[in-house]
Chains A and B, each alone.
Chain A
Amino acid sequence: MTLRTYLNGLALLLCAGASSNALAHNPMCECKAIDAEQIQCTGGFSDGSGAPGVTLDVIGYDETILVPGKLGADSTLTFKKPNAEFYVLFDAGPGHVVEIDQADIEAP
């Protein structure tokens, strides 16, 4: 009984020590081509929460916004692949952005 109490206490201490990194959450975004024409991006945060309604813009290399979008209720957005060179900007607020260049988007 006492040994179990000690082990429980030790486990609790270890959990408390390991939790400090989990407190911060950073924006995450992943894009992949679902077919030759369409690209699907999924946004979220590193604490496991989704990002419905968060802005996700597709921007050309000349800084024109090609597809102004917001993530749907399932934290994804599907858009037609632009003809011009582009990058995807997941924008959860100033300093909380993820950029994905077209070169980093996996082919289907």
Chain B
Amino acid sequence: MSSSTTATPPSRLSLFWHKWRFHINVLLLLIPLGFMPKYFSEAALFRGDAGLGEREVGEVQVGPWSLRLAEFRDEAPRLNGPVGHMKHFNAALCQSCISQVKATYLRIGKPRSLRAAGVIFFGSPYRMGALLPVPQKTRPDAELWITLEGWDGSMHQASIPLSQASPATVAWLKSQGNRP
């Protein structure tokens, strides 16, 4: 018995791959480099190297205390699943009030009571965060109320216009057309 083998010619795709595979793989390694600037700016934002947030609102005096407020991202509230649109704010207490302030709250509109003072800031007093729900029916001329509760039981409040706290949120509210 004799056997003969006929070599099938390699396909064009196979030829292309074998000729260029090294260069293609080098290109694949280069792709992540394009994302590096974005990655480092995000890392700086999350670590706090880029400040409290993308947009500093400034120092807000609340009774005897004060805090620095910032929008974490300079953008409209993000839709967060079933709870609706949320806006992320960061804050830092003044150095002398860190030991005196027990809790910091944020709310759109004047709180009815300390119990209903809004969302609470969590995290270190040098860099606290809070996710504020922003209903779509919020009026663009609404005010953002900050409530500070002291360890001595005292409570102090201050408000700033929402347009000052977050112009992006107000622009978004206007585009919502005051939907219920």
Interfacial residues, chain A to chain B (CB-CB below 8 A)? 21-22, 24, 26, 28, 46, 59, 63, 87, 89, 91, 94-97, 99
Contact = CB atoms under 8 A, between A and B. Distances in A.
Interface of B: 78, 80-83, 86, 103, 105, 112-113, 115-122, 130-131, 133
B83 A89 contact: no
Contacts of B82: 28, 46
Nearest to B81: A46
Contact of B115 (A21, A22, A26, A89): A89
Nearest to A94: B120
A63 B105 CA distance: 19
Given A24-B131, A26-B131, A26-B133, A99 B112 contact: yes
B121 to A, nearest CB: 8
Contact of A46 (B83, B118, B122, B130): B83
Given A46-B83, A97-B116, 20 more contacts: A21-B78, A21-B80, A21-B81, A24-B131, A26-B83, A26-B86, A26-B131, A28-B82, A28-B83, A46-B81, A46-B82, A89-B115, A89-B116, A94-B115, A95-B117, A95-B130, A96-B119, A96-B120, A97-B115, A99-B116
